[in-house]
C-alpha cells in the first residue's frame, strides 16, 4: 500500500517524557495515562516501551485494560471512571485492575459483588470540577462503607483539576484546599495531578501523579511555553506532495473557493484530509512543513487532500515529505489555529493512517 499518509510514533520520546514527569514529581509514582488507545498513539506499544519503568497505567474502560493485560502488561491498571455496570467488578478483580469509585451506585455494586479477592479502590473526591466524585458527608460515608468491606483491598483518595492549565488562576489552589477540607480525618494516599498540575503546581504532586498529554509531547499550559523545549513529540503525522500546480492571480482553490490567489501561486496538493483526522475546520494559514520548511495551508480541507502554499519553496517536488504535526510543527500550534487542543488532534487520527513505531 502506497498512500503516503502515515504517523510515525516515537516510543522513546514517550519514555523520555515519562521520565521528565517523574523528575518533576520526585518521590511520587506516575500513572501513565494511555486511555483512548494511548491518545491515538497505540496503547500497547507505548506500554511495552515503558516496560518495568512504568508505575502503572490509566485507562477509561475494561476493554482498554484487557487489551493491555492480554498483551502481557502486568503493572497496575486504573479504570479512571471505574466500572459502568456491576458485572465489570468481577472482571476487574479477575484481571487485577484498580477501580475508581466516583458515585454511590458504584459503592453498592462493589459491596454486592461476589469476589475471590478484594480490589484496590481509588475513591474520587469532587473538589470543584463538579463532574465526578464525592464531597462532604457523602465522601465520608462512602469511605467508611468501603473501609469496612472485605471487597476492598486498599483506598486512595483522588481528585481532578478543572483549570490547572491556567497558571495564573486561583482555581487550582481553591480546589486543593477544598480537597483538604473534604478528606480531613481520612488517612490515605492522594492522587491529584494531571499533566498541567505536574508542570505548573508542585504542591499537588502527592503520592501518585497522572500524566497524560505531556507524555505525548504537548504541554497543556496555555501561558507557559517553558516545557516545550524538553517535551518531545511522540507523533509525527506525515504525508507527501502528490501534485504541484501553478495557479494564476484570481484562481480559487478547492471546495467553496475559500482561498483566492492574490498573485501567481505555486500550490502543493498533499495526501491527507479530514478522513485521516486532519481537522476540516483548519483555516488558511494553519502551519505545516514541506521538506522541513515552514509553510501553510491554503484552501479548505478535503476528505483525502489538502492544498498548501509552495510560494516560499520554489524547489519543492512531487514526493517531497510534508509534516502536518510533530517536531517541525508543534501539534499545539496546529490546534491553536483550529480552535482545538492537541488532545483532540491526536485522538482523531483515523484507522486509515498507518502507525509506524520507532
Ligand X SMILES: *Cc1c(COP(=O)(O)O)cnc(C)c1O
Separation of alpha carbons 224 and 211, rounded Å: 17
Among the listed residues 191, 203, 197, the one whose alpha carbon sits nearest the alpha carbon of residue 224: 197
* Identity of the residue, 237 or 342, whose beta carbon is nearer to ligand X in the bound complex: 342
* Identity of the residue, 135 or 296, whose beta carbon is nearer to ligand X in the bound complex: 135
Q: Which of 106, 135, 172, 195 binds ligand X (CB under 6 A)?
A: 195
Report in angstroms how near the CB of residue 239 gets to ligand X at its nearest: 26
Residues 64-93 that bind ligand X (CB under 6 A): 80
Give me the helices (H) in the chain, please: 11-24, 35-39, 43-50, 62-70, 87-94, 104-112, 136-147, 171-183, 195-200, 331-338, 342-347
Q: Does 326 bind ligand X (CB under 6 A)?
A: no
> Across the strands, what pairs with 76?
56
Asked if 339 and 281 touch (Cβ cutoff 8 Å), the reply is: yes
Report in angstroms how near the CB of residue 297 gets to ligand X at its nearest: 26
Report in angstroms how near the CB of residue 160 gets to ligand X at its nearest: 5
CA angle 121, 122, 127 (to 5 degrees): 150
Report in angstroms how near the CB of residue 162 gets to ligand X at its nearest: 11
Separation of alpha carbons 95 and 65, rounded Å: 9
* Identity of the residue, 199 or 310, whose beta carbon is nearer to ligand X in the bound complex: 199
Report in angstroms how near the CB of residue 35 gets to ligand X at its nearest: 6
Q: Which stretch binds ligand X (CB under 6 A): 142-150, 192-200, 236-244, 298-306?
A: 192-200
Cell 483518595 locates to: 157
Report in angstroms how near the CB of residue 180 gets to ligand X at its nearest: 19
Q: Which stretch binds ligand X (CB under 6 A): 113-121, 145-153, 190-198, 320-328?
A: 190-198
Selected catalytic residue, list 18, 20, 22, 35:
35
- At 102 the three-state DSSP class reads coil
In the shown chain, the binding pattern of residues 127 to 166 toward ligand X, with x for contact by CB under 6 A and - for none, equals: ---------------------------------x------
Beta strand 235-247 pairing with 265-270 = antiparallel
Separation of alpha carbons 346 and 332, rounded Å: 11
* Identity of the residue, 37 or 307, whose beta carbon is nearer to ligand X in the bound complex: 37
Active-site residue 255, yes or no? yes
In the shown chain, the binding pattern of residues 199 to 238 toward ligand X, with x for contact by CB under 6 A and - for none, equals: -----------xxxx------x------------------
Active-site residue 216, yes or no? no
- At 184 the three-state DSSP class reads coil
Separation of alpha carbons 308 and 266, rounded Å: 9
Separation of alpha carbons 75 and 97, rounded Å: 9
* Identity of the residue, 143 or 208, whose beta carbon is nearer to ligand X in the bound complex: 208
Q: Does 98 bind ligand X (CB under 6 A)?
A: no
- At 228 the three-state DSSP class reads coil
Cell 482561498 locates to: 259
Which residues are near ligand X by CB under 6 A?
33, 35, 80, 160, 194-196, 210-213, 220
Which residues are annotated as catalytic?
35, 255
Amino acid at each position: 500500500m502506497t498512500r503516503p499518509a502515515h504517523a510515525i510514533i516515537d516510543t522513546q520520546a514517550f519514555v523520555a517524557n515519562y521520565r521528565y514527569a517523574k523528575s518533576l514529581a520526585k518521590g511520587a509514582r506516575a500513572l501513565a495515562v494511555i486511555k483512548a488507545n494511548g491518545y491515538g498513539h497505540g496503547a500497547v506499544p507505548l506500554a511495552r516501551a515503558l516496560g518495568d519503568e512504568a508505575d502503572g497505567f490509566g485507562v477509561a474502560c475494561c476493554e482498554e485494560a484487557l487489551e493491555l493485560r492480554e498483551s502481557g502488561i502486568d503493572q497496575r491498571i486504573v479504570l479512571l471512571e471505574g466500572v459502568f455496570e456491576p458485572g465489570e467488578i468481577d472482571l476487574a478483580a479477575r484481571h487485577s485492575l484498580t477501580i475508581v469509585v466516583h458515585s454511590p451506585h458504584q459503592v453498592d455494586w462493589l459491596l454486592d459483588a461476589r469476589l475471590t479477592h478484594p480490589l484496590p479502590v481509588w475513591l474520587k473526591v469532587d473538589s470543584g470540577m463538579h463532574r465526578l466524585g464525592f464531597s462532604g458527608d457523602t465522601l465520608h460515608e462512602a469511605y467508611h462503607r468501603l473501609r469496612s468491606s472485605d471487597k476492598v483491598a486498599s483506598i486512595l483518595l483522588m481528585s481532578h483539576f478543572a483549570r490547572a492549565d491556567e497558571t495564573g488562576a486561583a482555581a487550582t489552589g481553591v480546589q486543593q484546599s477544598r480537597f483538604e477540607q473534604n478528606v480531613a480525618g481520612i488517612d490515605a494516599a492522594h492522587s491529584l495531578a494531571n499533566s498541567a498540575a505536574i508542570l505548573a503546581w508542585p504542591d499537588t504532586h502527592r503520592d501518585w501523579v497522572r500524566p497524560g498529554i505531556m507524555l505525548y509531547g504537548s504541554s497543556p499550559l496555555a501561558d507557559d511555553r517553558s516545557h516545550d523545549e524538553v517535551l518531545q513529540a511522540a507523533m509525527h503525522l506525515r504525508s507527501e506532495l502528490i501534485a504541484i500546480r501553478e495557479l494564476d492571480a484570481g484562481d480559487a482553490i478547492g471546495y467553496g473557493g475559500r482561498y483566492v490567489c492574490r498573485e501567481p501561486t505555486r500550490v502543493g496538493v498533499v495526501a491527507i484530509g479530514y478522513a485521516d483526522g486532519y481537522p476540516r475546520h483548519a483555516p488558511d494559514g494553519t502551519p505545516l512543513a514541506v521538506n522541513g520548511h515552514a509553510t501553510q495551508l491554503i484552501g479548505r480541507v478535503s476528505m483525502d487532500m489538502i492544498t498548501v502554499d509552495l510560494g516560499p519553496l520554489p524547489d519543492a517536488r512531487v514526493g517531497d515529505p510534508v509534516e502536518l504535526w510533530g517536531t517541525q510543527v508543534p501539534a499545539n500550534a496546529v490546534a491553536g489555529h483550529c480552535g482545538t487542543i492537541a488532545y483532540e488532534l491526536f485522538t482523531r487520527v483515523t484507522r486509515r493512517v498507518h502507525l509506524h513505531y520507532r
